Amino acid sequence: MRKKTIVATLSASAIALPLMWPSSASAHGFISSPPSRSALCGDGTVRNCGDIQWEPQSVEGPKGYPAGGPVDGELCAGGDSRWAPLDNPRNGNWPSTHVNSGASFNFNWEIEARHSTTSFRYYVTKPSWSPTQTLTRASLESTPFLTVPYNRKQPAAHTVHTGTLPAGRTGKALIFAVWDVADTSNAFYSCSDVTF
Protein backbone atom coordinates (compact mmCIF):
# COMPACT_ATOMS: atom_id res chain seq x y z
CA MET A 1 0.00 0.00 0.00
CA ARG A 2 2.80 2.38 0.91
CA LYS A 3 4.60 1.65 -2.38
CA LYS A 4 1.44 2.53 -4.36
CA THR A 5 1.10 5.81 -2.44
CA ILE A 6 4.72 6.78 -3.20
CA VAL A 7 4.31 5.92 -6.89
CA ALA A 8 1.04 7.90 -7.07
CA THR A 9 2.66 10.90 -5.35
CA LEU A 10 5.66 10.83 -7.69
CA SER A 11 3.40 10.51 -10.74
CA ALA A 12 1.27 13.44 -9.62
CA SER A 13 4.43 15.51 -9.03
CA ALA A 14 5.75 14.66 -12.47
CA ILE A 15 2.51 15.86 -14.02
CA ALA A 16 2.22 19.01 -11.89
CA LEU A 17 5.83 20.18 -12.22
CA PRO A 18 5.62 21.20 -15.89
CA LEU A 19 2.40 23.04 -15.14
CA MET A 20 4.10 25.10 -12.43
CA TRP A 21 7.24 25.83 -14.45
CA PRO A 22 7.26 29.28 -16.10
CA SER A 23 6.28 28.88 -19.73
CA SER A 24 8.40 30.39 -22.45
CA ALA A 25 7.12 32.00 -25.60
CA SER A 26 5.81 29.60 -28.22
CA ALA A 27 7.32 31.46 -31.17
CA HIS A 28 10.96 32.22 -31.63
CA GLY A 29 13.17 34.21 -33.99
CA PHE A 30 15.60 37.12 -34.15
CA ILE A 31 17.73 39.06 -36.62
CA SER A 32 21.36 37.99 -36.54
CA SER A 33 22.51 40.40 -39.26
CA PRO A 34 22.61 43.29 -38.89
CA PRO A 35 22.83 42.13 -35.27
CA SER A 36 19.67 42.96 -33.39
CA ARG A 37 19.83 44.21 -29.82
CA SER A 38 18.60 40.82 -28.64
CA ALA A 39 21.34 39.07 -30.66
CA LEU A 40 24.00 41.36 -29.15
CA CYS A 41 22.70 40.54 -25.67
CA GLY A 42 22.45 36.84 -26.47
CA ASP A 43 26.03 36.51 -27.67
CA GLY A 44 27.43 38.57 -24.76
CA THR A 45 28.55 41.56 -26.86
CA VAL A 46 26.31 43.77 -24.70
CA ARG A 47 26.07 43.09 -20.96
CA ASN A 48 23.43 43.86 -18.33
CA CYS A 49 20.57 42.88 -20.63
CA GLY A 50 18.54 40.91 -18.12
CA ASP A 51 16.81 37.70 -19.17
CA ILE A 52 16.92 38.43 -22.90
CA GLN A 53 20.53 37.19 -22.85
CA TRP A 54 19.09 33.68 -22.43
CA GLU A 55 16.21 34.09 -24.91
CA PRO A 56 17.20 36.44 -27.76
CA GLN A 57 14.62 34.68 -29.93
CA SER A 58 11.64 35.46 -27.68
CA VAL A 59 10.76 39.11 -28.37
CA GLU A 60 7.10 38.47 -29.01
CA GLY A 61 4.20 40.82 -28.45
CA PRO A 62 0.75 41.73 -29.70
CA LYS A 63 0.55 42.19 -33.44
CA GLY A 64 -1.07 45.03 -35.32
CA TYR A 65 1.80 47.54 -35.65
CA PRO A 66 1.47 50.45 -36.36
CA ALA A 67 -2.21 50.85 -35.41
CA GLY A 68 -1.81 48.37 -32.54
CA GLY A 69 0.97 46.26 -31.12
CA PRO A 70 3.39 47.34 -28.40
CA VAL A 71 3.10 50.87 -27.03
CA ASP A 72 5.64 53.57 -27.85
CA GLY A 73 8.83 53.25 -25.85
CA GLU A 74 8.37 49.45 -25.66
CA LEU A 75 8.67 48.57 -29.34
CA CYS A 76 12.09 46.90 -29.21
CA ALA A 77 10.92 44.64 -26.35
CA GLY A 78 7.62 43.85 -28.04
CA GLY A 79 5.81 45.35 -25.06
CA ASP A 80 7.13 42.58 -22.78
CA SER A 81 8.62 43.93 -19.54
CA ARG A 82 10.97 40.93 -19.33
CA TRP A 83 12.88 42.32 -22.29
CA ALA A 84 12.77 46.00 -21.22
CA PRO A 85 16.58 46.43 -21.46
CA LEU A 86 16.16 46.32 -25.27
CA ASP A 87 14.23 49.61 -25.10
CA ASN A 88 16.95 51.33 -23.06
CA PRO A 89 18.84 53.60 -25.50
CA ARG A 90 22.01 53.26 -23.35
CA ASN A 91 22.92 56.89 -24.10
CA GLY A 92 23.22 56.00 -27.78
CA ASN A 93 25.92 53.40 -27.14
CA TRP A 94 24.38 50.26 -28.66
CA PRO A 95 26.91 48.77 -31.10
CA SER A 96 25.89 49.60 -34.65
CA THR A 97 26.50 48.01 -38.03
CA HIS A 98 27.90 50.17 -40.82
CA VAL A 99 25.64 50.08 -43.88
CA ASN A 100 25.53 51.98 -47.17
CA SER A 101 22.55 54.20 -47.89
CA GLY A 102 20.71 53.12 -51.02
CA ALA A 103 22.58 49.82 -51.21
CA SER A 104 21.32 46.27 -51.24
CA PHE A 105 21.48 44.52 -47.88
CA ASN A 106 20.73 41.02 -46.56
CA PHE A 107 18.68 40.70 -43.37
CA ASN A 108 19.33 37.35 -41.70
CA TRP A 109 16.89 35.75 -39.28
CA GLU A 110 17.52 32.77 -37.02
CA ILE A 111 14.15 31.12 -36.52
CA GLU A 112 13.60 28.43 -33.92
CA ALA A 113 9.81 28.06 -34.30
CA ARG A 114 8.75 28.24 -37.94
CA HIS A 115 5.31 29.81 -37.82
CA SER A 116 2.87 30.28 -40.63
CA THR A 117 3.66 33.85 -41.65
CA THR A 118 1.82 36.81 -43.12
CA SER A 119 4.88 39.00 -43.81
CA PHE A 120 8.11 40.51 -42.60
CA ARG A 121 8.25 44.32 -42.59
CA TYR A 122 11.25 46.59 -42.10
CA TYR A 123 11.04 50.22 -40.97
CA VAL A 124 13.79 52.77 -40.34
CA THR A 125 13.91 55.74 -38.03
CA LYS A 126 13.51 59.23 -39.44
CA PRO A 127 16.66 61.37 -39.85
CA SER A 128 15.51 63.45 -36.86
CA TRP A 129 15.68 60.45 -34.49
CA SER A 130 18.42 60.49 -31.87
CA PRO A 131 20.02 57.22 -30.67
CA THR A 132 19.64 58.55 -27.12
CA GLN A 133 15.82 58.34 -27.46
CA THR A 134 13.52 55.37 -27.00
CA LEU A 135 11.78 54.15 -30.13
CA THR A 136 8.31 55.53 -30.88
CA ARG A 137 5.99 55.45 -33.87
CA ALA A 138 6.66 59.15 -34.45
CA SER A 139 10.40 58.44 -34.73
CA LEU A 140 9.90 55.80 -37.45
CA GLU A 141 9.12 56.30 -41.12
CA SER A 142 5.45 55.40 -41.58
CA THR A 143 6.06 53.13 -44.58
CA PRO A 144 8.30 50.07 -44.45
CA PHE A 145 11.27 50.24 -46.81
CA LEU A 146 11.01 46.47 -47.29
CA THR A 147 8.00 44.16 -47.07
CA VAL A 148 8.33 40.44 -47.72
CA PRO A 149 4.94 38.69 -48.08
CA TYR A 150 4.74 35.02 -47.08
CA ASN A 151 1.08 34.15 -47.74
CA ARG A 152 0.94 31.85 -44.68
CA LYS A 153 4.09 29.90 -45.68
CA GLN A 154 6.66 29.02 -43.03
CA PRO A 155 10.06 30.71 -43.16
CA ALA A 156 13.19 28.59 -43.13
CA ALA A 157 15.21 28.12 -39.94
CA HIS A 158 17.78 30.48 -41.46
CA THR A 159 15.91 33.09 -43.48
CA VAL A 160 17.46 35.86 -45.56
CA HIS A 161 15.58 38.86 -46.97
CA THR A 162 17.37 41.09 -49.46
CA GLY A 163 16.26 44.67 -49.81
CA THR A 164 17.47 48.14 -50.70
CA LEU A 165 18.26 50.41 -47.78
CA PRO A 166 16.78 53.93 -47.84
CA ALA A 167 18.76 56.37 -49.98
CA GLY A 168 20.17 59.71 -48.90
CA ARG A 169 20.76 58.73 -45.29
CA THR A 170 23.75 59.46 -43.04
CA GLY A 171 24.44 58.90 -39.37
CA LYS A 172 22.92 56.53 -36.84
CA ALA A 173 19.52 54.92 -37.33
CA LEU A 174 17.48 52.06 -35.98
CA ILE A 175 15.90 49.38 -38.15
CA PHE A 176 12.69 48.07 -36.66
CA ALA A 177 11.54 44.72 -38.05
CA VAL A 178 8.10 43.18 -37.59
CA TRP A 179 7.54 39.47 -38.24
CA ASP A 180 3.77 39.05 -38.53
CA VAL A 181 2.89 35.44 -37.82
CA ALA A 182 -0.39 34.16 -39.26
CA ASP A 183 -1.28 31.49 -36.72
CA THR A 184 -1.21 33.45 -33.43
CA SER A 185 -2.35 36.86 -32.21
CA ASN A 186 1.28 37.93 -31.75
CA ALA A 187 4.18 39.18 -33.82
CA PHE A 188 7.94 39.25 -33.32
CA TYR A 189 9.83 42.50 -33.05
CA SER A 190 13.50 43.19 -33.64
CA CYS A 191 15.63 46.35 -33.40
CA SER A 192 19.00 46.66 -35.13
CA ASP A 193 21.22 49.74 -34.70
CA VAL A 194 22.99 50.85 -37.88
CA THR A 195 25.18 53.70 -39.03
CA PHE A 196 24.72 54.95 -42.61
**pLDDT (mean) for 19-48:** 77
3-state secondary structure of 88: coil
CATH label of the domain that carries residue 100: 2.70.50.50
Confidence (pLDDT) at 39: 95
Confidence (pLDDT) at 165: 98
The residues, any chain, with a CB within 8 Å of residue 56's CB and separated by 6 or more, are: 30, 36, 38, 39, 41, 42, 43
Please tell me the distance from the alpha carbon of residue 195 to that of residue 103, in angstroms, as a whole number: 13
Are the C-beta atoms of 166 and 102 separated by less than 8 Å?
yes
**pLDDT digit string (tens) for 67-82?**
999 999 999 999 999 9
Task: Give the residue among 36, 40, 32 at the shortest CA–CA distance from 78.
Answer: 36
Please tell me the distance from the alpha carbon of residue 32 to that of residue 191, in angstroms, as a whole number: 11
DSSP assignment of 98-160, as one string? E--TT-EEEEEEEESS---EEEEEEEEB-TT--TTSPP-GGGB-SS-SEEEE-TTPPPPSEEE
**pLDDT digit string (tens) for 159-169?**
999 999 999 99
The residues, any chain, with a CB within 8 Å of residue 51's CB and separated by 6 or more, are: 82, 83
Confidence of residue 143 (pLDDT cuts 50, 70, 90): very high
Phi, psi of 50 (to 5 degrees): 75, -155
Confidence (pLDDT) at 1: 53
Does 23 have pLDDT greater than 60? Answer: no
Residue 117 Cα distances to 31, 114, 121, angstroms = 16, 8, 11
Phi, psi of 65 (to 5 degrees): -60, 135
Confidence (pLDDT) at 2: 53
Structural domain harbouring 182: 2-195
Please tell me the distance from the alpha carbon of residue 108 to that of residue 110, in angstroms, as a whole number: 7
Residue 139 Cα distances to 50, 66, 125, 178, angstroms = 25, 12, 6, 16
Q: Is the pLDDT higher at 44 or at 20? A: 44
Confidence (pLDDT) at 19: 37
Confidence (pLDDT) at 38: 96
Q: Is the pLDDT higher at 115 or at 141? A: 141
Count of the separate structural domains present in the chain? 1
Q: Are strands 186-195 and 97-98 parallel, antiparallel or unpaired?
A: parallel
Q: What is the pTM of this model?
A: 0.85
Does 194 have pLDDT greater than 70? Answer: yes
Please tell me the distance from the alpha carbon of residue 87 to that of residue 77, in angstroms, as a whole number: 6
